Amino acid sequence: MRIATWNINGVKARQGALLKWLEEESPDIVCLQEIKSVDEAFPRMEIEAMGYNVETFGQKSWNGVAILSKHRFDEVTRGLPGDDGDEQSRLIEGVFSVEGGVVRVCCIYLPNGNPVGTDKFTYKLSWMDRLHSFVESRLALEEPFILLGDFNIIPANVDATVPEKWVGDAAFRPESAERWRALLNLGLTDAVRAITDEPSLTFWDFRTFGWERKDGIRIDHLLLSPQAADRLEDAVVHAAERGKDKPSDHVPVVGYFAF
């Protein structure tokens, strides 16, 4: 089974690229972030015509997440628990029946948090604290669980072409790194790092011509419960998508699993 994450940076603007990639790669489950679309405007019919079931948690102009799956959804959860006043669409989870049981796939768009020193950074840290509690509850189920998406976290120096330029950024702050490590310490495995020690970059900034200057970072991740990590066969970053026509600033990351 191939399970992918992709921050699409506006599904309307990237619809052509998305449909072409789905046709070429035919992943089993795809988690999208920053769809920037209300549920009603999502290109559901075009994607369903390719054999996918579609569930969204949209928001006008900002944020928004979606899961596309060749498997039927047994359950769908929308929103991160712990703050009834949080109106941002940043988490959607699906449960799917597979041979021998189920797999639980949770798609997140973790807050950017910049500028540091503002409410945006406070929100990021609070969201990560709530995510920690949420993941604890999921791991207690002792089933294959895959937490994936745009984490807006640079885990280590190897995950940036020029790590020095990110010092002070919310993605690289000690407070963010501490919470990232706390997630991993719950028993999660970083899928890409389980396969390779290479940089494996996933994001190149439009504004600074990052792709053209070969200056990127790794902020899109798949984190696996022990039951999912035992099934991991490979993890591949589709970096070539960034060089195509009308790309997102992120690229797909695909985990290969023996489900």
Q: In the chain, what is the straight-line distance between the N-terminal and C-terminal CA atoms, in Å? A: 6
Q: Residue 64 sits in a domain of what CATH number?
A: 3.60.10.10
DSSP states of 142-183:
-S-EEEEEE-----SGGGBSSGGGGTTSTTT-HHHHHHHHHH
- The whole-angstrom separation of Cα 194 and Cα 201 is 15
Q: pTM for this one?
A: 0.98
Judge whether 250 and 203 are in contact, CB under 8 Å.
yes
Q: In what order do the strands lie in the sheet with 101-109?
A: 75-78, 91-98, 101-109, 145-150, 220-224, 189-190
DSSP states of the chain:
-EEEEEE-S-TTTTHHHHHHHHHHH--SEEEEE---S-GGGS-HHHHHTTT-EEEEE--SSS--EEEEESSPPSEEEES-TT-TT-----EEEEEEEETTEEEEEEEEE----PSTTSHHHHHHHHHHHHHHHHHHHHHTT-S-EEEEEE-----SGGGBSSGGGGTTSTTT-HHHHHHHHHHHHTT-EEHHHHH--S----B--TTTTTTTTT--B--EEEEE-HHHHTTEEEEEE-GGGGGSSS--SB--EEEEE--
Residue 250 annotated to the active site? yes
Residue 221 annotated to the active site? no
Identity of the residue numbered 255: G
Residues marked as binding? 7, 34, 150, 152, 249-250
pLDDT by residue, tens only, the chain of 259 residues: 999 999 999 999 999 999 999 999 999 999 999 999 999 999 999 999 999 999 999 999 999 999 999 999 999 999 999 999 999 999 999 999 998 899 999 999 999 999 999 999 999 999 999 999 999 999 999 999 999 999 999 999 999 999 999 999 999 999 999 999 999 999 999 999 999 999 999 999 999 999 999 999 999 999 999 999 999 999 999 999 999 999 999 999 999 999 9
Q: Catalytic residue among 28, 52, 220, 250, which?
A: 250
Structural domain range at position 239: 2-257
**Torsion sign, CA atoms 229, 159, 11, 235:** negative
Residues marked as binding for Mg(2+)? 7, 34, 150, 152, 249-250
Q: Catalytic residue among 28, 150, 169, 190, which?
A: 150
Q: Catalytic residue among 52, 109, 169, 220, which?
A: 109
Identify whether 115 is preceded by a cis peptide bond (ω within 30 of 0): yes
- The whole-angstrom separation of Cα 95 and Cα 2 is 15
- Domains contained in the chain, number: 1
